[in-house]
């Protein structure tokens, strides 16, 4: 089945901009969605589709995609953005429909 | 506000069957994909499988031989059974709502798929 690849860790200075990327074949056919997970908590959807934020997600979070790569950008990172971030997408490889997750990126805000 | 409440046995012995249930409150059960996802300690998320309101399922190929997901639409609940568990199945198990929306553009039509509502998670430990 398809896989999604993320950098294991990324750091950003407080108030600066950071981009977290996700690569995989499924992204050529399906948009990625992005989830934020803080320790001991369930994941929370932050970006879906082309570049859509659920209600309550700050507008410093944005998404983009090109070819087999999707990106989550945080513009003006805040201390509360320190978390693990996961991408996922639908995948129809192997003639069956399923979901795939990236391995996650740990974001540290310095 | 849709909420997912999940429950099930938290401690199992090797070879036993894991059984979890997720109830949907405050929203429609039909028109969505209802998934189970797990997260081993210190590791990432792994999709296990999904079911829709009519009982159609999709499973992760790596777990398919041991997984059964079922639905009880009269109670707005769906359940996970994972047979022959081992220590490698120790994880936090989440239920989640998956949805798809269609965006009709001037030139192209786009389809968005995402998981917008998650349960709080159930810790399952497999130990002899």
Query: Which residues in chain A are closer than 8 Å to B37, comparing Cβ atoms?
Result: 101
pLDDT band at B120 (very low <50, low <70, confident <90, very high): very high
**Residue A95 has what pLDDT?**
78
Q: Does A60 touch chain B (CB under 8 A)?
A: no
**Residue B44 has what pLDDT?**
97
**Residue A1 has what pLDDT?**
47
Largest CA distance in chain A: 44
Mean pLDDT of chain A: 95
Average of pLDDT values for B14-29? Answer: 96
Mean pLDDT of chain B: 95
Compute the distance between CA of residue B125 and CA of residue B13 in angstroms, rounded to an integer.
8
Compute the distance between CA of residue A28 and CA of residue B61 in angstroms, rounded to an integer.
21
What whole-number percentage of chain A has pLDDT above 90? 91
**Residue B108 has what pLDDT?**
81
With an 8 Å Cβ cutoff, are B101 and A44 in contact? Answer: no
- pLDDT, tens digit, for every residue of A8-46? 999 999 999 999 999 999 999 999 999 999 999 999 999
- Residue A63 CB neighbour total at 10 angstroms: 23
Average of pLDDT values for A60-76? Answer: 97
**Residue B7 has what pLDDT?**
98
**Residue A46 has what pLDDT?**
98
Is it the case that residue B106 has pLDDT exceeding 90?
Answer: no
Average of pLDDT values for B38-42? Answer: 97
Nearest Cα to B98, choosing from B55, B49, B62?
B49
Structural Rg of chain B based on CA atoms: 15
**Residue B97 has what pLDDT?**
98
pLDDT band at A2 (very low <50, low <70, confident <90, very high): low
Q: What is the phi-psi region of residue B10: left when phi exceeds 0, alpha when psi lies from -120 to 50, beta otherwise? A: alpha
Q: Does B99 touch chain A (CB under 8 A)?
A: no
- Measured between CB atoms, which of A48, A89, A96 is closest to B58? A96
Query: Which residues in chain A are closer than 8 Å to B44, comparing Cβ atoms?
Result: 86, 101-104
Average of pLDDT values for A57-69? Answer: 96
Is it the case that residue B35 has pLDDT exceeding 50?
Answer: yes
- Measured between CB atoms, which of B47, B94, B114 is closest to A98? B47
Average of pLDDT values for A66-94? Answer: 95
Is it the case that residue B61 has pLDDT exceeding 70?
Answer: yes
Task: Chain A: give the shortest CA distance to residue B114, in Å.
Answer: 6
Compute the distance between CA of residue A78 and CA of residue A13 in angstroms, rounded to an integer.
9
């Amino acid at each position: 089945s398809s896989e999604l690849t993320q950098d294991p860790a990324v750091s950003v200075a407080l108030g600066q901009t950071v981009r977290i990327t996700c690569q995989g074949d499924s992204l050529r056919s399906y948009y990625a969605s992005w989830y934020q997970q803080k320790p001991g908590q369930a994941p929370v959807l932050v970006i879906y589709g082309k570049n859509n934020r659920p209600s309550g997600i700050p507008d410093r979070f944005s998404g983009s995609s090109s070819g087999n790569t999707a990106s989550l950008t945080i513009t003006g990172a805040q201390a509360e953005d320190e978390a693990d971030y996961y991408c996922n997408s639908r995948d129809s490889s192997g003639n069956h429909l399923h979901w795939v997750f990236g391995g996650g990126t740990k974001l540290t805000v310095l | 506000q849709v909420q997912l409440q999940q429950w099930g046995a938290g401690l199992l012995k090797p070879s036993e069957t894991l059984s979890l249930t997720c109830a949907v409150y405050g929203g429609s059960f039909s028109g969505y994909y209802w998934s189970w996802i797990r997260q081993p300690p210190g590791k990432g998320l792994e999709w296990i499988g999904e079911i829709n309101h009519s009982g159609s399922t999709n499973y992760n190929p790596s777990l398919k031989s041991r997984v059964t997901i079922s639905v009880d639409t009269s109670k707005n609940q769906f359940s996970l059974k994972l047979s022959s568990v081992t220590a490698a199945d120790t994880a936090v198990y989440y239920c989640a709502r998956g949805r798809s929306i269609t965006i009709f553009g001037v030139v192209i039509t786009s389809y968005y798929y995402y998981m917008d509502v998650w349960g709080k998670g159930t810790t399952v430990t497999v130990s002899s």
